[in-house]
Amino acid sequence: MTLKEIAAEAGVSTMTVSNVIHQNYARVSPATVEKIQAIIEKYHYVPNMAARSLVRKSSRIIALLLPIWYADTGSLLFNPYVGNMVGTLDMLIRKAGYYTMLCSFRNVEEVLSFQRNWQIDGSIMVLPHLEEITHGLVEQTQTPLVVMDRRYDDIAMNSVTLNDRRGGYLATKYLLERGHQKIGFACPGHLVDSFVLTERYMGYAEAHREYGLVPDNRWLFENYPQLEGGKRLGNELIEMEKRPTALVSTEDIMACGVVQTLIKARWKLPRDLSIVGFDDSAPAELITPALTTVRQDVRLKAEKAFEMMLEAIRNDDRRINRFFELDVSITERDSVATL
Amino acid sequence: MTLKEIAAEAGVSTMTVSNVIHQNYARVSPATVEKIQAIIEKYHYVPNMAARSLVRKSSRIIALLLPIWYADTGSLLFNPYVGNMVGTLDMLIRKAGYYTMLCSFRNVEEVLSFQRNWQIDGSIMVLPHLEEITHGLVEQTQTPLVVMDRRYDDIAMNSVTLNDRRGGYLATKYLLERGHQKIGFACPGHLVDSFVLTERYMGYAEAHREYGLVPDNRWLFENYPQLEGGKRLGNELIEMEKRPTALVSTEDIMACGVVQTLIKARWKLPRDLSIVGFDDSAPAELITPALTTVRQDVRLKAEKAFEMMLEAIRNDDRRINRFFELDVSITERDSVATL
DNA sequence: CTGAAAGCGCTTACAG
DNA sequence: CTGAAAGCGCTTACAG
């Protein structure tokens, strides 16, 4: 069923039908409106989005950009945080009458092609990627873009970030207040590669300074990704001569790996090692001891990002340079002992 | 940049350019091919998919149908199993040159509209939905459809299912072999609403029969969804007079809720209660004691589903009635004690 | 309030 | 090996 056929059946022009569909009732007589609506109803007519996109040069599609970090990595959706985020965004997108496309990608070109292929109305990047690619994307994307967890001060862009520095600060202070002085810092990648990790580390260092302490470099643990990384770190801690009494872990799931390994080695937690995680994702609550962790509000983050997206689309301007920084808080559970 | 502009620059017709793009080199002279490719390269030309869809009446879009179970439920992507599945499917879809659209939906009409709106090439339904809706979808969808975890014997359809009955059987037998005679069965919904749950229960009953036992109805626990449901079940078990010594839980995450509650009440697990979970998802490994659980292979499931999808598209036939049943196995961990 | 016409960017027969 | 023409299903000025 097409507009044309409906027009024929109603005895009007296609453009009148089009007006009814778009509820431009001012331009059509009530009787005609009713007649056309009845026909649409009868045949369950739905418009062809391809035809509409073609003439409007926009598709009502929002792309969720999911970086593939390394060749051997699977989809980002394996990450529970990303699953939550994508799910929440999808609901918001649908509710606003847009459509969600997923775009797993390895490099900037893939994204640019994708965006032009479909005349995407806008893109939301769900996790910051390798620096070079993220930066390239922000610079080269020609349609509205919202980036999460990363911003560049030298480029006008839309971003939703977390107060990561304060997150690192709060986590560390929480431990310092409970008498810990030897506090390690563990993260999934290298500080130098990641803005987010660097910020968290700065907060960690700042809290130390406040207490007249200096972080010990032997306890900076870089490049322990995921559960597996955490397990590896756990084993290294067991072997270590001079150990910290506490650990700030920039990912819950990594913290879980540490906990599992230590428990298996018959350590008593949190007595033998206190840990503060990051994200407050599902694993934090499942592990024993449950993790005290830095919480971020996924729902709010998604809402802010989509809000920005809509405004960028409305203004037809990808260079508005809006940003929103989410605050963080500590969720207290059982993984920290007072010395 | 459009085909027409490229044609103008190359001094050929649009159809020759089109032939080059589609690698119909037999129809174009090598010199022309090269000239056109250079221009395409130079301008980073990418075809407009809307225009292509419009004339081809197909879009190369695969829809991943994500049922919204209840009004207040968020996206299915909150479920770690679904996240994995969607992520894996997305990778396969992209690799095959298709595009992934997400379609969260509440009823059949939404899906049918969506499919026609975009002239979707095919749809994969990720989790079985309320019976009425799933059945309606299978009957009414006019384009290739693959359904996971549900089939109807009275309708020709494409399905990928799990040997759920054997899953229930293996879980129960594992407990029986270790001396348990009082074994409960816990599930997130009502047996009568769910094919999958019913099948698992049948396996549970069958194992009992083999051992000359009859399941005790007091230990059939229905409607304990998610972590919260598990916690509720844990509390009920604590209050119970005549308790089972073991539990088959049809979801890992529900089992985790039970474990957490019992541990908090100072029960010793698995001594005081043995549990076998289902899925072997991330939570199973995180909880203490780690769950012995029935494993399903998400990757294989996704591959089989997508393979079916491609074949259905190739055959332009949604009624081929293909199905694939995945086998299950037990992953042994620490949540079962021998009596 | 209504319509005829052009055009969005492709592909598909058809003809040579 | 190459091209002219029609058409996919819509919307957009423009005219009345």
Contact A62, A121 (CB under 8 A): yes
Res A318 pLDDT > 60: no
- In eight-state DSSP terms, residue A103 is E
Q: Residue B80 — pLDDT band, cuts 50, 70, 90?
A: confident
Q: Tell me which chain B residues have a C-beta less than 8 angstroms from the C-beta of A104.
A: 90-91, 94
| Of A193, A180, A119, A170, nearest in space to B2 by CA | A119
Q: Tell me which chain B residues have a C-beta less than 8 angstroms from the C-beta of A65.
A: none
Q: What is the pLDDT of residue A132?
A: 87
* Nearest CA-CA distance, residue A11 and chain B, Å: 24
pTM of the model: 0.90
Res B335 pLDDT > 60: yes
Q: What is the pLDDT of residue A127?
A: 84
Q: Tell me which chain A residues have a C-beta less than 8 angstroms from the C-beta of B47.
A: 117
| Of B161, B158, B98, B154, nearest in space to B124 by CA | B158
- Through-space separation of residue B23 CA and nucleotide C14 C1' in angstroms: 21
List, for residues B109-143, the tens digit of each pLDDT value: 999 999 999 999 999 999 887 888 999 999 999 99
Place of tokens 């997305």: B90
Average pLDDT over residues A115-140: 91
- Through-space separation of residue B15 CA and nucleotide C14 C1' in angstroms: 13
Instruction: Give the integer Cα–Cα distance in Å for A174 and B200.
Output: 47
All structural domains of chain A, each given as residue ranges with its CATH number in brackets, are 3-47 (no CATH), 61-162+298-328 (3.40.50.2300), 164-296 (3.40.50.2300)
Nearest residue to C9, CA vs C1'? Answer: B51
* Prior bond of A188 cis (ω within 30°): no
Q: What is the pLDDT of residue A118?
A: 96
List, for residues B182-228, the tens digit of each pLDDT value: 999 999 889 988 888 999 999 999 999 999 999 999 999 999 988 89
Instruction: Give the integer Cα–Cα distance in Å for B71 and B159.
Output: 27
Instruction: Give the integer Cα–Cα distance in Å for A235 and A222.
Output: 15
- Through-space separation of residue B49 CA and nucleotide C8 C1' in angstroms: 12
Place of tokens 């997150």: A167
Cβ-defined contact of B77 to A90 (cutoff 8 Å): yes
> DSSP characters for B68-94?
--STT---GGGSHHHHHHHHHHHHHHH
Contact A44, A5 (CB under 8 A): no
Q: What is the pLDDT of residue A317?
A: 62
Instruction: Give the integer Cα–Cα distance in Å for A284 and A82.
Output: 16
List, for residues A56-103, the tens digit of each pLDDT value: 999 999 999 999 876 666 777 877 788 889 999 999 999 999 999 999
| B-interface mutation test, from A124, A286, A288, most B Cβ less than 10 A away | A286
List, for residues B137-188, the tens digit of each pLDDT value: 999 999 999 999 998 989 999 999 999 999 999 999 999 999 999 999 999 8
List, for residues B256-284, the tens digit of each pLDDT value: 999 999 999 999 999 999 999 999 988 89
Instruction: Give the integer Cα–Cα distance in Å for A174 and A201.
Output: 15
Q: What is the pLDDT of residue A284?
A: 93
| Average pLDDT of every residue of chain A | 92
Contact A82, B88 (CB under 8 A): no
